């Protein structure tokens, strides 16, 4: 008969053990761990050395109870899962957010809130699970956002859908100016029947990019009627392109409000035997990986999506630390990137 003996796992080091090695009280160690400025540099050095020697890791739950902070923030995306995981714009923004949070003690909770369970999302956020929230890709009908702002610090990635919310903190690009730059490219290369696949008009980015398109054509004395709306997806862009060509078959230029929709437009044009850019020149928006993943590399309006994510997270962390010195509106530059399509 054999008997197995389970070896006891060593207990993790405690505050008391750190205090004993450092030769100070438990309360002093706690003050050092929590970043108190009321401890002398010599004591801080002694406690830090003991922490490193013992490989002590502060208990996050205990610290949260003491400070009433969770050291967690939420990224709220009011979209369905398909759009979130299918659009490279979101991947770039999340990369920027996590790059900034990696420099802090904060963790990220991702909440992809489709239309049905948004009440559940609001209930979770208001239950003390996070200290603040980042919101990207919001729509005019997202009423739960206004409720959330009453509860905790919020920073928007993109101009808030509620234009009257002058106190909101947000990071964005000048979408209208970027659309003007992209549309002007089509005018400059001689296109005279220019259409647009616009984004959803319940989103500020969709509205602003359509506005920039229309302004440019009006200045050039060209018609602005060749517009179809889509949902910022490749499938939506393809369907809108079919509708537009049925209505305006003489299109020779196309400004598309996202690269992903532009890839759908290219596929439809090629299917119908129209060359890009020979028959129809195309300009997209984003400069995402979608711009160079298709058969035709897209000329596009580049926006610094990853840096926008970084800046959005940075503003939220600064607000959580009590710093309200940053501006409410942060606008980042766009630029035109020339490739094959225009």
Which pLDDT tens digit goes with each residue over 25-48?
A: 888 887 777 666 677 888 888 888
Compare 95 and 87 and report the one with higher pLDDT: 95
Residue 43 lies in a domain: yes
For residues 113-117, average pLDDT: 59
Alpha carbons 269 and 60: distance in angstroms, whole number: 55
pLDDT of 5 over the 50 cut: no
Same-domain check for residues 217 and 241: yes
Average pLDDT over residues 216-240: 95
Nearest to 78 by CA among 95, 92, 90: 90
In a domain, residue 287? The reply is yes
Residue 274: domain span: 175-303
Q: Confidence class of residue 268 from pLDDT cuts 50, 70 and 90?
A: very high
pLDDT at 115: 54
Given CA atoms 156, 161, 167, 171 in this order, what sign does their dihedral have?
positive
22 and 86 in one domain?
A: no
Same domain, 203 and 277: yes
Average pLDDT, the chain: 86
Rg (CA), the chain: 26
Instruction: Answer whether residue 342 is part of any domain.
Output: no
Q: Are residues 312 and 168 in the same domain?
A: yes
25: CATH: 1.10.260.40
The answer to whether position 140 is within a domain reads yes
The 10 Å CB-count burial string (b at 16+, else e) for 4-37 is: eeeeeeeeebebebbbebbebeeebbbbbbeeee
Q: Is the pLDDT of residue 336 over 60?
A: yes
Q: How far is CA 17 from the centre of its chain?
A: 43
Residue 196 has φ and ψ, to the nearest 5°, of -145, 140
Predicted confidence band of residue 142 (pLDDT cuts 50, 70, 90): low
165 and 189 belong to one structural domain: no
Same domain membership, residue 163 and residue 111: yes
What is the mean predicted confidence (pLDDT) over 4-33?
75
pLDDT at residue 67 greater than cutoff 90: no
Task: Examine the pLDDT at 286 and tell me if it is beyond 80.
Answer: yes
Q: What is the pLDDT of residue 146?
A: 72
Q: What is the mean pLDDT of residues 11-20?
A: 81
Residues 141 and 261 in one domain: no
pLDDT, average across residues 132-151: 78
What does the alpha-carbon distance between residue 276 and residue 214 come to, in Å, rounded to a whole number? 22
Residues 124, 158, single domain; the answer is: yes
**Would 202 be classed as within a structural domain?**
yes
What's the structural domain count of the chain?
Answer: 3
Is residue 66 domain-resident?
Answer: no
Question: Is residue 190 a part of any domain in this protein?
Answer: yes
In the chain, % of residues over pLDDT 70: 87
Q: What CATH number is given to the structural domain containing 84?
A: 3.40.50.2300
Cis peptide bond prior to 115, omega within 30° of 0: no
165 and 179 share one domain: no
- pLDDT reading at 68 higher than 70: no
**Same domain, residue pair 143 and 92:** yes
Mean pLDDT of 198-221: 94
Based on the domain organization, do 293 and 323 belong to the same domain?
A: no
| Best CA proximity match to 199, nearest among 174, 173, 167, 236 | 236
Residue 3, in any domain of the structure: no
* Closest CA relative to residue 29, chosen from 54, 61, 6: 54
Q: Write the pLDDT tens digit of every residue in 161-189.
A: 765 566 789 999 999 999 999 999 999 99
For residues 218 and 247, membership in a common domain is answered with yes
Look at residue 3 in the predicted model and tell me its pLDDT.
Answer: 45
Q: What is the pLDDT of residue 59?
A: 57
**Predicted pLDDT of residue 207:** 92
């Amino acid at each position: 008969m054999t008997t197995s003996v389970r070896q006891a796992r060593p207990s993790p080091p405690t505050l008391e053990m750190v205090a004993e090695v450092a030769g100070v009280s438990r309360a002093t160690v706690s003050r050092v761990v929590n970043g108190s400025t009321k401890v002398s540099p010599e004591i801080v050095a002694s406690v830090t050395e003991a922490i490193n020697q013992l490989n002590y890791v502060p208990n996050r739950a205990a610290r949260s109870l003491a400070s009433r902070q969770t050291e967690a923030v939420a990224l709220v995306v009011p979209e369905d899962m398909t759009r979130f995981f299918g659009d490279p714009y979101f991947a770039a923004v999340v990369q920027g957010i996590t790059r900034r949070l990696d420099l802090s003690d904060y963790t990220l909770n991702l909440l992809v809130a489709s239309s049905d369970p948004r009440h559940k999302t609001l209930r979770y956020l208001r239950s003390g699970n996070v200290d603040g929230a980042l919101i990207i890709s919001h729509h005019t009908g997202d009423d739960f956002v206004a409720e959330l702002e009453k509860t905790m610090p919020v920073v928007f990635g993109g101009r808030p859908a509620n234009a009257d919310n002058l106190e909101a903190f947000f990071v964005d690009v000048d979408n209208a100016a970027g659309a003007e730059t992209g549309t002007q490219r089509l005018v400059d290369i001689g296109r005279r029947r220019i259409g647009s696949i616009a984004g959803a008009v319940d989103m500020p980015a969709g509205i602003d990019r359509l506005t920039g398109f229309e302004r440019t054509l009006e200045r050039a004395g060209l018609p602005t009627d060749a517009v179809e709306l889509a949902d910022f997806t490749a499938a939506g862009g393809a369907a809108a392109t079919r509708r537009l060509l049925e209505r305006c078959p003489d299109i020779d230029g196309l400004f598309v409000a996202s690269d992903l929709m532009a890839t759908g437009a290219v596929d439809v044009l090629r299917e119908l035997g129209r060359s890009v850019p020979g028959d129809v020149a195309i300009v997209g928006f984003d400069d995402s990986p979608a711009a160079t993943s298709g058969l035709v590399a897209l000329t596009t309006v580049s926006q610094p999506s990853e840096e926008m994510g970084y800046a959005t997270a940075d503003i939220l962390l600064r607000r959580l630390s009590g710093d309200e010195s940053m501006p409410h509106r942060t606008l980042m530059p766009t630029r035109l990137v020339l490739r094959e399509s225009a």
